[in-house]
Amino acid sequence: MASLKEVRSRITSVNSTQQITKAMKMVAAAKLRRAQDAIIQMRPYAKKLSEMLATVSAGAETAAESPFKQVRSVEKVLIVTVTSDRGLCGAFNSNIAKAANLLINEKYATQAAKGNVEILALGKKGGEAFQRRGFNVNTTYMDVYTRLSFGVVKEAAESIMADFEAGKYDAVEVVFNEFKNVATQIIRTEQFLPIVADETASQNVSASGANYVFEPSEEQIVQDLIPKTLKIQLYRAVLESNASEHGARMTAMDKATDNAQELLKALRLEYNRSRQAAITKEILEIVGGAEALSQG
C-alpha cells in the first residue's frame, strides 16, 4: 500500500490535470462555435457551386476539354491529408492516417511500391505521421491552420491543380474528417482530380432538354467555374476538418475530466484507508506500550 505522502502527491497531481482538461474543454468549445458557424455557412455555397458545375458541364461540350477532367493512366498519385496541428483530440488524427493508408493499400498499392505516392500534408500531425512511415511528404502547406483563410487554401489548391495539369500527378485524393456533431466525425475520401463526370446531372440535362444561354461564352464560364469549384471544395474540406478537430478535442477533454474525477475518487478512498490503517497501527502501538508499562 502506498504511503500517505505518495497518495497526497498523486491527488494533487490529478487535481491539477483535471483543471487543465476542464480549461482545454472550454477553449475547444469556444473555438468549435466559430468553426461550426463557418462550415455551416460554407456548405450551401459549396453544394450549389458543385451542382452548377455539374449542370453546366453536362450540357457543355467544352467542359470535356478541361485539363482538370483528363483521365490518364494512373502512375503518380497525390494524397492530401487534412489533419490538425496539435494532439489531445482522441483518434482524430490517427483515423486520417489509417484511412489514407487503407486508400493507398487498396487503390494505389502498385504506385506505392514504385514510390510514386506523395503526401501533401495540410496540418502538422498528418505530415509527421507519414514522414515516420517513410513517405515523400510535401510540407509546404503543413502550417495551414496557423493562418487559416481561403487565401492560404486557395494557394494550396492552385499548386495542386498546376501540378496535375503539368502531368506531375495523374490522380489526387483528399482524406479529411467531415463534421457531423460534437461527438461524431465522419472520415471522407474524395477524388479531387481528375473531376469525375456527374452522370445524374447529364441525364437530368438531357431529360429536361434545357437550352442554356451562356454569357460571355460557354467556354469562359466553364474555364472559370471549374477552378473556382475545386478551390472551394478543398477549402470546405479544411473547414470540415477544423470544426471536427475542436469537436473531437472537446469530447476527449470531457472524457479526460470524467476519468480524472473517477481516479480522484479511487485515490481519496485509498488515502482514507491508508490513513485509517496508520491510525489503527498507532492505537495498537499505544495500547501495547501501555500494557507493557502496566505489567512492568
Q: So which residues are the catalytic ones?
A: 89
The CA distance from 253 to 250, in Å, is: 5
Q: Locate cell 482545454: which residue? A: 24
Backbone dihedral angles phi then psi of residue 211, each to the nearest 5 degrees: -115, 105
The CA distance from 138 to 127, in Å, is: 8
The CA distance from 43 to 46, in Å, is: 5
The CA distance from 55 to 175, in Å, is: 26
Neighbour-count burial for 155-191, b at 16+ CB within 10 Å, e otherwise: ebbeebbebbeeeebbbbbbbbbbbeebeebeebebe
Which residues does residue 174 pair with via DSSP β-bridges, in sequence order? 80, 190
